[in-house]
């Protein structure tokens, strides 16, 4: 194993890891927003709104994320959507993970004891007030672990944006392999940095879980 090569390329991989973190963080924010809206839509009393939420979740969970990225980046210009690779990666990953987060959020809300809702309604709370003050605070605790799993999947799935030329960890590894012909060492460095990022995410999830458990 060529350790000297791994040391030489490490600074370049650190820069690429920062891009991976940035694209994952932005996609996470978009995914949480999209997932929350989709979950609310699927819980709506309106059949039309429920259908819209179901269609969104079905499309983005039922098709490969890679195809979604290709449609957005390569196919977008045909319908007037012109995005650079980074923006297309953020939007594609965000909308994809948002569909999975929608089910995690909806499941957590439905897991809250219905007696809590009934009790809130008997003391005069409206539906929105009951959701905001009674259901969501309890559901938030149940969302932490599933959303943490979604976030880890998002970080690992961010490697897909290398296919549309975003210079993140996987793209950087592929580029160095072309010049060094040492895939074991190069992919080993990339794997190490992915593991560090995933570990950091897992630690944050653990801290949030403990904090809510004590509150």
Cβ pair 135, 116 in contact under 8 A: yes
SS3 178: helix
Residue 120 has pLDDT above 80, yes or no: no
- Joined together, the tokens standing for residue 156 give 């690992």
Residue range 28-75, pLDDT digits in tens: 999 999 999 999 999 998 999 999 999 999 999 999 999 999 999 999
**For range 139-160, the mean pLDDT:** 93
**Residue-level length of the chain:** 215
SS3 206: helix
Residue 114 has pLDDT above 80, yes or no: no
Q: Which residues contact 147 (CB under 8 A, 6 or more apart)?
A: 32, 101, 104, 105, 205
CA distance 96 to 57: 9
Cβ pair 19, 93 in contact under 8 A: no
Q: Which residues contact 67 (CB under 8 A, 6 or more apart)?
A: none
Residue 146 has pLDDT above 70, yes or no: yes
SS3 82: coil
- Joined together, the tokens standing for residue 173 give 């590894």
pLDDT averaged over every residue in the chain: 91
Give the pTM: 0.92
% of residues, the chain, pLDDT over 70? 95
Q: Which residue has the tokens 């012109």?
A: 82
Residue range 79-107, pLDDT digits in tens: 999 999 999 999 999 999 999 999 999 99
């Amino acid at each position: 194993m060529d350790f000297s090569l791994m040391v030489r390329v490490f600074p370049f991989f650190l820069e690429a890891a920062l891009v991976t973190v940035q694209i994952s963080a932005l996609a996470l924010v978009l995914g949480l927003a999209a997932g929350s809206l989709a979950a609310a839509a699927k819980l709506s009393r309106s059949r039309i709104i429920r259908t819209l939420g179901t269609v969104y979740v079905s499309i983005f969970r039922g098709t490969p994320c890679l195809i979604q990225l290709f449609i957005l980046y390569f196919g977008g210009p045909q319908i007037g959507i012109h995005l650079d690779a980074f923006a297309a990666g953020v939007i594609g990953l965000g909308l994809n993970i948002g569909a999975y987060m929608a089910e995690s959020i909806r499941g957590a809300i439905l897991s809250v004891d219905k007696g809590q809702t009934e009790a809130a309604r008997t003391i005069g709370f409206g539906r929105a007030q009951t959701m905001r003050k009674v259901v969501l605070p309890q559901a938030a605790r149940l969302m932490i672990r599933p959303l943490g799993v979604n976030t880890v999947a998002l970080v690992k799935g961010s490697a897909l944006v290398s296919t549309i030329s975003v210079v993140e960890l996987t793209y950087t590894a592929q580029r160095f392999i072309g010049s060094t012909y040492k895939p074991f060492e190069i992919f080993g460095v990339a794997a190490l940095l992915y593991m560090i990022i995933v570990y950091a995410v897992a630690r944050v999830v653990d801290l949030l879980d403990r904090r809510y458990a004590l509150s």
